[in-house]
Amino acid sequence: MKVRIPQNGGAGNMQAMIKKMQEDMVAKQEELEARTYEVSSGGGVVTVRINGKKEIQSVKLAEEVVDPDDIETLEDLVVAAVNEAIKRVESDASEEMSKLTGGLNIPGMGGLGGLF
């Protein structure tokens, strides 16, 4: 019995699959960058709005948190909200990209905007 081996060894199909996955990942990255997240700290007294590019869009402060005698607490709350917002963007991006790759760590595919 003879076995037929494709001229290109099946590499064409693999290349097409990889190209499709790369295109899907670029599209997903664009979608993720367009998203907006809102994260609060201190029970909602500090709210940070951030986009999927990790750019802070706004910071909202409740009046009761603005105490000239306790600026340190306000600073801590802003830092906490910003850090949580960044973590949320990164977690969302990682989860979405993992869905596209089936959880595989594919060499050369992690360079899309630092999402991995």
Contact 74, 42 (CB under 8 A): no
- What's the pLDDT tens digit per position in 24-73? 889 999 999 999 999 999 999 999 999 999 999 999 999 999 999 999 99
Helices 11-34 and 71-101: crossing angle, nearest 10°? Answer: 150
Structural domains in the chain?
37-101 (3.30.1310.10)
Compute the distance between CA of residue 86 and CA of residue 88 in angstroms, rounded to an integer.
5
Compute the distance between CA of residue 36 and CA of residue 57 in angstroms, rounded to an integer.
9
pLDDT at 5 over 90: no
Written as one letter, the residue type at 24 is D
Contact 22, 107 (CB under 8 A): no
Consecutive H or E run containing 40: strand 36-41
- What's the pLDDT tens digit per position in 106-116? 555 444 444 44
